[in-house]
């Protein structure tokens, strides 16, 4: 097996797959999170029991095939948290990928191996998934550009689900121009010829910045001012009048209900060995009261309307990608749980509303990367990619 100093690739998926001989991504190498099927390679979803109990796929996921058809070459499959249900990137079975931009700290999950592979220069770009923040958080922790697109615009067929009404295909790149080139292959054609002109109003999410705190706000101030200069002004807004801490459990309840619907039968039959955290979340999901899920679904509709009303057709929300820098590897206990909660409170608005969000490597804090995020109206993915390249390349 080729050398993997980053521990980014799964041992059974370090096989290269050639793409088309020409195309817009010809000459580029990319990594694939081990949730996506590639014909002839196992899909392990971060868990040895999943790997053991599922056949080797015979077909390649459409998102992967689009990239191959565009001339890019698969460099291998990358590590993920178990069934993608974590934000840390620490896998109890396969270890933790290195964070090359913040040594000694976690890369973030669940697209941990994909982020590490790009940050460490093993590949040009990588695809992953984002359900609750699994592109945006690793992008912030590892100093990368990363996008969670509008829900449903990139097909998730041929991949292992977690919570289908939140799951999205996302991707990382080391520069904004390359992130946009990949988007041109994966996304539907843009309806406007100049997508960078789609935004007219800049909205600063004060409640998200408040959760992150003054150190994060200060570190990101220069990048926010650059955006303010582009728009001429900015309006301070509160995303959640009732508090983002009230939106987070709406997301967590729905995610748990969907995760158990997707995997409960397999878990009951197989009794897989899960690492801490993932084990606890599935155990709680197994006993979730359906009435709570129904109430959360109703709350989600109100959240979706709130976000749509704020954005209209031309708004751009700016907020931190994370509540802080990457935590140290091997941390445990109440502090880790609190950081996860703060992260989910910042990350959940886009997921609950099905909106696109792009993370930009905008600053450093204590010598570590820190991301700034942009949320646009649904379908504004190409516009987000364009403004990121225009202002932050």
Cβ-based neighbours of 386, under 8 Å, separated by 6 or more: 180, 195, 196
CA dist 357 and 207 (Å) reads 17
Active site residue 110: yes
Return the SS3 of 204: strand
Single out the catalytic residue among 77, 101, 110, 382: 110
Single out the catalytic residue among 112, 134, 321, 359: 134
CA dist 174 and 126 (Å) reads 10
Torsion angle of the four alpha carbons 44, 129, 282, 12, in this order, in degrees rounded to the nearest 10: 10
Active site residue 33: yes
Taken in order 282, 284, 290, 292, the sign of the CA dihedral is negative
Cβ-based neighbours of 66, under 8 Å, separated by 6 or more: 185, 186
Q: How far is CA 348 from CA 70, 74, 181, 355, in A?
A: 32, 31, 27, 10
Catalytic (active-site) positions: 33, 110, 134
């Amino acid at each position: 097996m080729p050398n993997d100093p980053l521990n980014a690739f799964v041992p059974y998926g370090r096989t290269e797959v050639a793409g088309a001989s020409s195309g817009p991504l010809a000459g580029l190498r990319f990594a694939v999170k081990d949730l996506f099927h590639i014909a002839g390679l196992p899909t392990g979803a971060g868990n040895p029991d999943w790997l053991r109990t599922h056949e080797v796929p015979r077909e390649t996921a459409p998102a992967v095939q689009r990239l191959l058809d565009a001339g890019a070459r698969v460099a291998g499959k990358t590590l993920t948290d178990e069934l993608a249900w974590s934000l840390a990137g620490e896998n109890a079975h396969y270890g933790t990928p290195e964070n090359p931009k913040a040594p000694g700290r976690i890369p973030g999950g669940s697209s941990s191996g994909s982020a590490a592979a790009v940050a460490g220069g093993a590949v040009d770009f990588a695809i992953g998934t984002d359900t609750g923040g699994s592109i945006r958080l690793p992008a912030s922790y590892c100093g990368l550009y990363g996008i969670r697109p509008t829900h449903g615009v990139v097909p998730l067929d041929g991949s292992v689900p977690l919570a289908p009404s939140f799951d999205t295909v996302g991707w990382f790149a080391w520069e904004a121009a390359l992130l946009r080139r990949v988007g041109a292959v994966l996304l539907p054609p843009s309806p406007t010829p100049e997508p960078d002109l789609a935004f007219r109003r800049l909205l600063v999410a004060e409640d998200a910045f408040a959760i992150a705190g003054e150190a994060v706000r200060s570190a990101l101030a220069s990048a926010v001012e650059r955006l303010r200069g582009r728009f001429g002004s900015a309006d301070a807004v509160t995303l959640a009048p009732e508090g983002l801490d009230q939106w987070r459990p709406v997301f967590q309840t729905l995610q748990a209900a969907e995760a158990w619907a997707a995997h409960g039968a397999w878990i009951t039959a197989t009794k897989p060995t899960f690492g801490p955290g993932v084990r606890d979340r599935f155990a709680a999901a197994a006993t979730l009261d359906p009435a709570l899920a129904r109430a959360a679904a109703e709350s989600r509709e109100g959240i979706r309307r709130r976000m749509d009303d704020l954005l209209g057709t031309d708004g751009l929300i700016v907020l931190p990608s994370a509540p802080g820098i990457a935590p140290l590897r091997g941390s445990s206990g109440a502090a880790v749980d609190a950081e996860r909660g703060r992260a989910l409170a910042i990350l959940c608005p886009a997921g609950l509303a099905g909106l696109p969000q792009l993370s930009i490597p905008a600053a450093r804090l204590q010598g570590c990367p820190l991301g700034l995020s942009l949320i646009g109206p649904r379908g504004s993915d190409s516009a987000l990619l364009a403004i990121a390249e225009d202002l932050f390349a």
